[in-house]
Amino acid sequence: MLRVPKSLLYFVNIVGYGKDSIWEGTQGYLHMGKRIGRRVFMQVTAGTTLGVAAMDVIGAVPSKPLHVGVIGTGNRGRSLLGILLAMGDVQVPAICDIDLSAAKLAEGMIEKANQPPPEAYTRDEHVYQQLLERDDLDAVIIATPWHWHTPMAVDAMKAGKYVGVEVPAAITLEECWDLVKTHEKTKVPCMMLENWSFRRDNLAVLNMIRAGLFGEIVHCHCAHSHDCIDHWFFDPQGNMRWGGEYLVRRNCDQYPTHSEGPVLSWMDINCGDAYATLTSTASASRGINDYFTRKFGPDHPNAKRKYKQGDIVTSVIRTQKGKTIVINYDMQLPRPYDNRWMIQGTLGLYSESRNAVYVTGRSPKYHEWQSFDPYQEEFDHPWWKTMGERTKNISHGGTDFLELALFLDAVRNKTQTPIDVYDSATMSSVIPLSEASIAKGSAPVKCPDFTRGQWKTWKRRFAIV
């Protein structure tokens, strides 16, 4: 029998009321919501101010709501906060951000959701520890700059709070091990919020792989191809944001987890196989300087700055069972968004960029691509069958809601989160491993085994229903 998170059932009831029951999204953040039934459900303005209006309760809400603290209330933090507030069975009594304006916007969202004003922790960078000392929080969501992810997650586990931490969960090998060792000592789950693991198409492909359609899996390609110069690393006026500082200091795959998200379950990593070695090669750094020269002129400080980060990083992982994975970092050159997932086995393959498959014995034309669409319908994962079409226009196509609903279901039932600390550390480890390989002239580096050999006996656990 399919076990559906209570948060998901409640939300589907809410968004299913009335023909206009959808949210619209832009660039991954919630914005202006449409009418739901008799009342306005949510209004969000371009990722800056979000407000949740009073809502009709359609269906039963669990009698005891979960209490979640949010650390980091910038654009991403407020996007996740908006989803939490919409669930109906979640209260947010505490928030933390040293940016007073960001904290104020989050406070307004919570009050407009008819919840009591939250306690806002804003004093300094370490005030989050006071939030973690509260005895009324079941879990915390961390959406801060990268260098704070591991320290905050470690402190949260030590405080007995379930952790949902934004990507990447760690940026050094030491931090990866800190997460694993703290979890093993405290037994508190820690989940990196890698939303692409929950994409509808990726989960359908996972079902196809587990049904044996592609035979024995041999190879995978994945990428994070996303021009982020003018909004993530720098603002539109050309000022460096916190993420841009990494481009000056490091040469690595800065952001591999959106590439790897579905790949770990596709290839049974940490449950039958494991990363063994990695090699990485970086191109020269040209794109950032060219962008600033074109946009602001050759005398702009950022046009003349030296960046350590290469424009394209290509990493190749060989697994313990002899499979290979190619991961591309591509975030500094003009291009449309693309993940370029491709998974290949002894009987066929899937290509995300083509939206196509070739399956021996099933594809009607010999060695010709076939549309993925009928396979998406046939192998749709139960999580998405439950959600249906109603939430597809929520932040990141509904994946953000699904991952939070499943995370909170684990919190409520005191079970393991769908992405565990071992997978979180494995995905994050590509950052420092790629940096080490590049520094050694693309020499192979050994991948740590965060499971300490348990991958040999652990069974599949992600997306099992």
**Which H/E stretch holds residue 302?**
helix 301-304
Q: What is the pTM of this model?
A: 0.88
Report residue 88 as tokens. 């109906």
pLDDT of residue 387: 73
Distance between CA atoms of residues 157 and 425, nearest Å: 15
Confidence of residue 431 (pLDDT cuts 50, 70, 90): very high
**Which pLDDT band holds residue 156 (cuts at 50, 70, 90)?**
very high
**DSSP letter string, 332-357:** SSS---B---EEEETTEEEETTTTEE
Arithmetic mean of pLDDT over the chain: 88
Q: What is the pLDDT of residue 386?
A: 77
Phi then psi dihedrals of residue 391, to 5 deg? -115, 15
User: Residue 6 pLDDT > 80, yes or no?
Assistant: no
- pLDDT, residue 392, reads 62
Asked whether the beta carbons of 70 and 77 are under 8 A apart, the reply is yes
- Helices marked H in 36-188 — which ranges? 75-86, 100-112, 128-132, 149-158, 173-186
The answer, yes or no, to whether residue 73 has pLDDT greater than 50, is: yes
Is the previous residue joined to 448 through a cis bond, with omega within 30 degrees of 0?
no
Alpha-carbon dihedral sign for residues 215, 403, 427, 288: positive
pLDDT, residue 148, reads 98
CB atoms within 10 A of CB 310: 22
pLDDT tens-digit map of 311-327:
999 999 999 999 999 99
pLDDT at 58: 24
Residue 326 bridge partners (DSSP): 221, 316
What are the tens digits of pLDDT across the range 387-412?
755 566 676 778 999 999 999 999 99
Residue 422's H or E segment, with its range, is helix 421-428
Helix (H, G, I), strand (E, B) or coil at 116: coil
Residues 250-306 pLDDT 10s: 999 999 999 999 999 999 999 999 999 999 999 999 999 999 999 999 999 999 999
Q: What is the pLDDT of residues 213-231, one digit of tens each?
A: 999 999 999 999 999 999 9
CB atoms within 10 A of CB 219: 14
Which pLDDT value is given to residue 449? 98
Looking at the chain, the whole-number percentage of residues with pLDDT higher than 90 is 82
Output helix, strand, coil percentages for the chain, rounded to the nearest 5: 35, 20, 45
If you ran DSSP here, which 8-state letter would residue 133 be given? Answer: T
What are the structure tokens assigned to 34, written together?
Answer: 């449409």
Greatest Cα pair distance, the chain, in angstroms, is 65
- Domains within the chain, CATH numbers bracketed: 6-144 (3.40.50.720), 197-382+421-456 (3.30.360.10)
Torsion angles phi and psi, residue 96, rounded to 5:
-145, 130
Q: Please state which of the ranges 32-36, 126-130, 370-374, 395-399 shows the lowest mean pLDDT.
A: 32-36
CA distance 159 to 161: 6
Name the β-bridge partners of 446: 277
Structural contact between residues 65 and 137, judged by C-beta atoms closer than 8 angstroms: no
Q: How far is CA 66 from CA 14, 148, 195, 340, 408, in A?
A: 18, 25, 21, 37, 8
Mean pLDDT, range 329-336, rounded to an integer: 98
Can you tell me the distance from the alpha carbon of 36 to that of 17, in angstroms, rounded to the nearest whole number?
6
pLDDT-based confidence at residue 63 (cuts at 50, 70, 90): low
Which residue would you say has higher pLDDT here, 192 or 43?
192
Which H/E stretch holds residue 51? strand 49-52
pLDDT value at 4 more than 80: no
Q: How many residues does the chain have?
A: 465
- Between 31-35, 119-123, 125-129, 295-299, the lowest mean confidence (pLDDT) is in 31-35
pLDDT tier for residue 32 given thresholds of 50, 70 and 90: very low
pLDDT band at 64 (very low <50, low <70, confident <90, very high): confident
Choose between 375 and 14: higher pLDDT. 375
φ, ψ of residue 62 in degrees (nearest 5): -50, 140
What would the two tokens of residue 192 be? Answer: 């990196």
